[in-house]
Structure 1
Amino acid sequence: MKILIATHKSYQIPDEAGYYPIMVGADLRNQIPVGYLKDNTGQNISKMNPFYNELTALYWAKYNLQDEDIIGLVHYRRYLGSKSGHDLNNILSAAQIREALNKVDVLLPKQRNYYIESQKNHYLNAHKNEPYFVMADVIKEKFPTYYEAFIAMGQSKQAHLFNMSIMNQENFQSYTSFMFDVLAEVEQRIPYREYEGQEQRVFGFLSERLMDTWLYTEQKTFAEYPIITTEKTNWVDKGTQFLKRKFFKNGRKKVHF
């Protein structure tokens, strides 16, 4: 079992068996903390980290951790836990993960509910619109069996976000093959290298809409868990930014903070 902790800097790491910090974009970093895995060994897309975010760790795992029974990805600031809060002692243990995966296919963070807008509209309000519509075209043209689930995801007010999940090797290969194949085709159709600011992270944002698309098409069972965060969220600011994105279309957009 390897649960990768995606990070771009040295950070507090939980002392829990099965969890391994991995420096994403390692090819672009001057220093790698001792004991951290790197996403630039073997087959990798480490140099694409500015555009793919934590997905460079998933890509590395797909091709370099094929002997592991269980693969997962969490963030240096976010973990799946037995209860929400800020205490790293409450993150899922290796024993809890194995027990849960004996009952369901995938372990996920609790769905994010946007209440007043759909997932499609939330994305369009927060990001450049072209990539979303291009991805819809790619799925319809190249992956038609997933298109119905993609449309349903877009119409839903709920989604599993953050690109965080834990699953067995077979499901991991299925999910990542679908996700990276879709994104590779989108990559050919949009001018992502011309994007600026947070919009550069386009493939990381798009991929968040592919988990549920894969999950429901493949009819995978799942269990949801609260998120343990190492840093407190400013919900007033987060809520304000959400409303600004929705009602003031031309305002400066702030998404992940």
Structure 2
Amino acid sequence: MDTFIGVAAHKEYSMPEGDIYHPIQVGSALHNQIKGYFHDNEGENISEKNLNYSELTAVYYLWKSIKSDVKGIVHYRRLLAAKGGHKKTLGQAEIESIISSGKIILPRRRNYVIETNYSHYAHAHNIQDLDETRKIIEERYPDYAQFVDVVFNRTSAHMFNMFIMGSTEFDAYSAWLFDILFELEKKIDISDYSVQEARVFGYISELLLDVWVEKNNIPFVERPVIYLEGQHLLRKVVSFMQRKVLGQGDTHITSKVD
């Protein structure tokens, strides 16, 4: 079984060990190319959209340019852990065993407890963009609409745009996702968005993954996320309360190293 796990990165960084992990430079069309990395501007690509699509430009590259039995996406500072461990990176044998059983691999759910996914997005971003996304899904994929409501009203989600799937599932999800996002791009005006908020299509896609999984009844296993640069938990809690109580605060917490 051929396995290709892309590691989305915008700079040189220490990569996980193993032949299955391959660094993909996101936004390669906008920057000097990093030697030894795959580049998301090769072949059919959306590399120039990286400032708005974040790691999804690597997902698009994997969809269009990589032929492999198993495909996945993780981040240079966030990886998926092996079963039973929070420091050992998920390895080839475990990945292929899970995929062979007919399941996909997702990061452990993030729980918001006192907020739904919808209200959390409303406190952190422009909720009109999420509402427009639902309209597009209702128009183009009406059989998905009820699952949008299920996911939006939950208090947990599989975040970070990290997943590992058999190529059939990976490509099917990508085709569905980008059809929706490209239509959304036509519908909303982000010309006055901040640098952070301009990543809107990356933010929205985090919720759409669970919609696709729910609708298609895709069995999955969860694995813990390894944070290579820490989580800044205190700052996240403060920012969360600022947004919820005061209606203001940072929408995104950056890593220790930009």
Same fold (TM over 0.5): yes
Q: What residue number does 1:23 align with?
A: 25
Question: How far apart, CA to CA, are the structure 2 residues paired with 1:223 and 1:140?
Answer: 28
Which residues in structure 2 correspond to 1:80-159 (within 5 Å)? Answer: 80-82=80-82, 83=84, 85=86, 87=87, 90-159=88-157
2:203 equivalent among 202, 205, 222: 205
Question: How far apart, CA to CA, are the structure 2 residues paired with 1:70 and 1:229?
Answer: 23
Report how many aligned residue pairs link the two structures: 251
Matched, 1:175 2:177: no
Which residues in structure 2 correspond to 1:179-190 (within 5 Å)? Answer: 179-190=177-188
Q: What residue number does 1:50 align with?
A: 51
Q: What residue number does 2:249 align with?
A: 252
Q: SS at the partner of 2:236?
A: helix
Amino acid at match of 1:255: H
Question: How far apart, CA to CA, are the structure 2 residues paired with 1:84 and 1:255?
Answer: 27
Tell me if the contact between 2:71 and 2:166 (Cα under 8 Å) persists in the aligned partners. Answer: yes
Tell me if the contact between 1:71 and 1:169 (Cα under 8 Å) persists in the aligned partners. Answer: yes
Amino acid at match of 1:49: N
Tell me if the contact between 1:17 and 1:93 (Cα under 8 Å) persists in the aligned partners. Answer: no
Tell me if the contact between 1:110 and 1:227 (Cα under 8 Å) persists in the aligned partners. Answer: yes
Amino acid at match of 2:220: F
Query: What TM-score does the superposition give when structure 1 sets the normalisation length?
Result: 0.95
Tell me if the contact between 2:240 and 2:249 (Cα under 8 Å) persists in the aligned partners. Answer: no
Q: SS at the partner of 1:256?
A: coil
Q: Could you tell me how far 1:233 is from its partner in structure 2? A: 1.6
Q: What residue number does 1:74 align with?
A: 74
Q: SS at the partner of 1:209?
A: helix
Q: SS at the partner of 2:35?
A: coil
Identical columns (%): 36
Tell me if the contact between 2:239 and 2:249 (Cα under 8 Å) persists in the aligned partners. Answer: no
Amino acid at match of 2:133: M
Question: How far apart, CA to CA, are the structure 1 residues paired with 2:97 and 2:123?
Answer: 39
Question: How far apart, CA to CA, are the structure 2 residues paired with 1:169 and 1:156?
Answer: 28
Amino acid at match of 1:132: L
Q: Could you tell me how far 1:102 is from its partner in structure 2? A: 1.8
Tell me if the contact between 1:51 and 1:204 (Cα under 8 Å) persists in the aligned partners. Answer: yes
Q: Could you tell me how far 1:254 is from its partner in structure 2? A: 3.1
1:7 equivalent among 9, 13, 38: 9
Q: Could you tell me how far 1:105 is from its partner in structure 2? A: 2.4
Amino acid at match of 1:68: S
Query: What TM-score does the superposition give when structure 2 sets the normalisation length?
Result: 0.94
Q: SS at the partner of 1:122?
A: helix
Question: How far apart, CA to CA, are the structure 2 residues paired with 1:64 and 1:234?
Answer: 35
Residues 81-133 of structure 1, C-alpha deviations (whole Å, 9 max, x = no match) = 02554x4xx11111110011122421000000000000000011000122111
Q: SS at the partner of 1:121?
A: helix
Question: How far apart, CA to CA, are the structure 2 residues paired with 1:50 and 1:84?
Answer: 33
Unaligned runs of 5+ in 1: none
Tell me if the contact between 1:81 and 1:91 (Cα under 8 Å) persists in the aligned partners. Answer: yes
Residues 194-223 of structure 1, C-alpha deviations (whole Å, 9 max, x = no match) = 322211000000100100000010000000
